[in-house]
Amino acid sequence: MTAERVDVPDGFSRRSFLRHAAWAGAGIAVAVSGGVVTTEMLGAGMLTADASTPRTKADFSFVQISDSHLGFEGKPNPDVAETFQQSIDLVNALPDAPDFVIHTGDLTHFSTVAQFDQAKQMMSAIRAPHVFTLPGEHDSIDGTGRTYLKIFGAGTVGTGWYSFDHKGVHFISLVNTTSQQVLGHLGSEQISWVVKDVAGLSSDTPIVVFTHIPLFDVYTKWGWGTGDAPELLHHLKRFASVTCLNGHIHQVISRVEGKVGFHSCNATAYPLPKPGRAAGPIPVVTPPGQLHKYIGIREADFAPKFHHPLVSDRLLPR
């Protein structure tokens, strides 16, 4: 099955284009230059992987945000809509508008029509040419993600996967959260679709994969991993550069395995405990006035100097 092809202005020739996507949660800005990905987290005091290295002028940049959890109510964050709006304001304050923004899941907390409408309305204020989404498990509480797909699924395949090309980089957005699959599972149909999707690409094409749940094993006891990720990555091993960006775990964790770089990002809603340091992945209540030290967004740049993304994170300003 092939999704609708839509031509998008400014070099955004897309495969399986998600026409009415949205963005929320933690954020990464990603930039591309010379076909290589670099990333930065947005926030007060831009941090880079090497603080002594000046920021390289990128070919282009994009922002990833994740886990806004609109509809959540509780002590960890009494107003998730406010911190989500602060994240949007932070993106809109960037000196250069990102080429696109992507939300990597859990836009909502309970998958209600009202929560999805709120997410869509808030994200309509993002100053970027294109805004994309993929569903998290909280966006699929209705069983198969029907409500999510009705609002955000135009031009996607299956339960919401799609791909697009931008300035020499191939982006793939996958779903590993819907309840008709095992949580943290891609499934054979989706992996077969990826195989066909990349078949015509040159091996020197940079690949960026977006998912909600990590494609590397962070802490499987809590479901922080994707069981069939090795099968997916096997089909991508011929590519010289593969970058996997995810949300779900509400904290920044990065890993490089061979030619593949993995990066999890913060949430804009609330932090979760470090792997194994609590009874389970239960929202963390921070000391009074300290929430902004644990949530934020990320920016990533594609620049020719680096072979793997340099990730810089910004916390939400108070």
Work out the number of other CB atoms within 10 angstroms of the CB of residue 277.
8
- Strands 253-257, 242-246: pairing is unpaired
How far is it between the farthest Cα atoms of the chain? Answer: 53
pLDDT tens-place values along the chain, 318 residues long:
233 222 333 444 433 333 223 222 344 555 554 444 444 444 433 333 333 334 556 788 899 999 999 999 999 999 999 999 999 999 999 998 999 999 999 999 999 999 999 999 999 999 999 999 999 999 998 877 899 999 999 999 999 999 999 988 899 999 999 755 578 999 999 999 999 999 999 999 999 999 999 999 999 999 999 999 999 999 999 999 999 999 999 999 999 899 999 999 999 999 999 999 999 999 999 999 999 999 998 888 877 555 455 667 788 988
The dihedral over CA atoms of 186, 178, 264, 262, expressed in degrees to the nearest 10, equals 10
CA atoms within 13 A on the CB side of 89: 11
CB 279 within 8 A of CB 7: no
Beta strands in 111-156 (DSSP E): 130-133
CB 64 within 8 A of CB 132: no
The model's pTM: 0.85
Q: What is the per-residue pLDDT for 144? A: 76
CB 157 within 8 A of CB 16: yes
DSSP letter, residue 274: P
Q: What is the per-residue pLDDT for 212? A: 98
Q: What is the pLDDT of residues 131-180, one digit of tens each?
A: 999 999 999 988 778 999 999 999 999 999 999 999 888 999 999 997 55
Helix axes 113-123, 80-92, angle to 10 degrees: 20
Beta strands in the chain (DSSP E): 6-8, 12-14, 28-33, 36-41, 60-65, 100-103, 130-133, 162-166, 169-173, 207-210, 242-246, 253-257, 260-264, 296-302, 312-315
For the chain, give the number of residues: 318
The C-alpha angle with vertex 164 and arms to 65 and 246, in degrees rounded to 5, equals 30
Q: What is the pLDDT of residues 25-50, one digit of tens each?
A: 344 555 554 444 444 444 433 333 33
- 143: CB partners within 8 A, 6+ apart: 179, 180
